[in-house]
């Protein structure tokens, strides 16, 4: 009768697969290389499976080895979810709030919203994670985050979301740009004008590309970036013009000219949180401060357009 599997053997096997070599696995597990090799050998003996091919002194996983790894990884993912739930409970008890924010809002906007929240909760530990919208959505579902600010709607029964600051994109440009003399900017006005754009895979980048293609306007893209603060700084420095959501330019008042753009290109963000969050009190307060910050910035910035 084969012996039951040993957890240490499973950990060694998983570490070798993920790190590529026995030496790296040994470092990660804080044990010797011979110890790792012995654990792997015992695992193969106990399972009756050849999990690795020995090629020039290196271990290469077999097909059976990879099938076993996939199952082990699924089980460890479940364990990580339990760990995340424990962390969420501890956050509630210790007064912690974890917020995920897309890069476009990682500048003045999230700083102002968070500072407003901390003024009423000075003893709360607040962590801001800047990541992609999809990353934030995934971490909300697994309870690694309490709040998320993203650019696209999420169809998930465990996540509650609401639109934040629905408003058309505006045109921003250097203060001394010739187009600043106009009150309204149209697509043809930007034909061949140096233009700063977002990643074409982003929701903002896709909308910008679509509107100009529909008007057969050739954009002269001189810079492409994934973050709004970077884009706005280059506009303020005189590199070119761009189309952005008003929230992107919070903190830029007096540094760039803001003009209405037609036809209107509607855009909003999504303010998200997990359903039945144990951290509900802090979450609701943060959501309220975020809404108020968006409303205030909206009034300030849109008065220029």
- Considering the domain architecture, whether residues 286 and 140 belong to the same structural domain is answered as yes
* Per-residue confidence (pLDDT) for residue 174, from 0 to 100: 96
Residue 100, domain extent:
84-164+268-302
- Summarised one tens digit per residue, pLDDT across range 60-79 is 889 998 999 898 888 888 88
Domain CATH number, residue 279: 3.40.190.10
* Per-residue confidence (pLDDT) for residue 196, from 0 to 100: 95
What is the sign of the dihedral through the CA atoms of 274, 275, 279 and 282? positive
* Per-residue confidence (pLDDT) for residue 57, from 0 to 100: 73
**Domain termination site, one of 56, 82, 108:** 82
Residue 1 placed within a domain: no
Residue 2 placed within a domain: no
Span 33-59, average pLDDT: 86
- Considering the domain architecture, whether residues 178 and 290 belong to the same structural domain is answered as no
**Per the structure, how many domains does the chain have?**
3
The rounded distance, in Å, linking the Cα atoms of 142 and 137 is 9
- Considering the domain architecture, whether residues 101 and 154 belong to the same structural domain is answered as yes
Spell 144-155 as b/e; 16+ CB within 10 A means b: bbbbbbbbeebe
Name 195's bridge partners.
Answer: 221, 241
**Domain termination site, one of 82, 105, 138:** 82
Residue 215 placed within a domain: yes
The three-state (H, E, C) secondary structure of 132-174, written as one string: CHHHHHHHHHCCCCCEEEECCCCCCCCEEEEEEEEEECEEEEE
Residue 131 placed within a domain: yes
- Considering the domain architecture, whether residues 13 and 155 belong to the same structural domain is answered as no
Name 272's bridge partners.
Answer: 148, 161
Residue 136 placed within a domain: yes
- Summarised one tens digit per residue, pLDDT across range 183-220 is 999 999 999 999 999 888 777 788 888 899 999 998 99
* Per-residue confidence (pLDDT) for residue 290, from 0 to 100: 94
Say if CB 243 and CB 170 are below 8 A apart.
Answer: yes
- Considering the domain architecture, whether residues 253 and 171 belong to the same structural domain is answered as yes
The rounded distance, in Å, linking the Cα atoms of 11 and 40 is 10
Span 81-95, average pLDDT: 70
Residue 67 placed within a domain: yes
- Considering the domain architecture, whether residues 192 and 220 belong to the same structural domain is answered as yes
- Considering the domain architecture, whether residues 243 and 160 belong to the same structural domain is answered as no
């Amino acid at each position: 009768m084969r012996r039951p599997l040993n957890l240490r053997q499973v950990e060694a096997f998983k570490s070798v697969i993920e790190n590529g070599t026995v030496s790296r696995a040994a470092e990660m597990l804080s044990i010797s290389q011979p110890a790792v090799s012995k654990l792997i050998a015992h695992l193969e003996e106990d399972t009756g499976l050849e999990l690795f091919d020995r090629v020039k002194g290196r271990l290469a996983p077999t097909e059976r080895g990879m099938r076993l790894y996939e199952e082990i990884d699924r089980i460890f993912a479940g364990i990580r979810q339990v760990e995340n739930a424990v962390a969420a409970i501890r956050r509630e008890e210790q007064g912690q709030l974890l917020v995920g924010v897309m890069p476009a809002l990682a500048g003045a906007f999230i700083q102002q919203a968070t500072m407003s929240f901390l003024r009423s909760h000075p003893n709360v530990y607040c962590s801001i994670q800047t990541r992609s919208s999809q990353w934030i959505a995934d971490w909300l579902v697994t309870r690694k985050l309490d709040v998320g600010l993203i650019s696209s709607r999420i169809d998930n029964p465990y996540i509650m979301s609401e639109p934040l600051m629905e408003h058309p994109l505006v045109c921003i440009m250097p203060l001394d740009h010739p187009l600043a003399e106009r009150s309204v900017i149209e697509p043809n006005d930007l034909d061949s004008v140096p233009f700063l754009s977002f990643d074409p895979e982003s929701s903002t980048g896709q909308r910008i590309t679509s509107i100009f293609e529909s008007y057969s306007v050739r954009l002269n893209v001189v810079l492409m970036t994934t973050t709004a603060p970077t884009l706005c700084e280059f506009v303020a420095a005189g590199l070119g013009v761009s189309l952005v959501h008003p929230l992107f330019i919070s903190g830029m008042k007096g540094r760039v000219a803001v003009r209405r753009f037609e036809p209107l290109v509607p855009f909003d963000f999504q303010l998200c949180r997990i359903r039945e969050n144990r951290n509900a009190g802090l979450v609701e307060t943060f959501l309220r401060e975020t809404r108020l910050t968006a409303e205030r910035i909206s009034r300030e910035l849109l008065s220029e357009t």
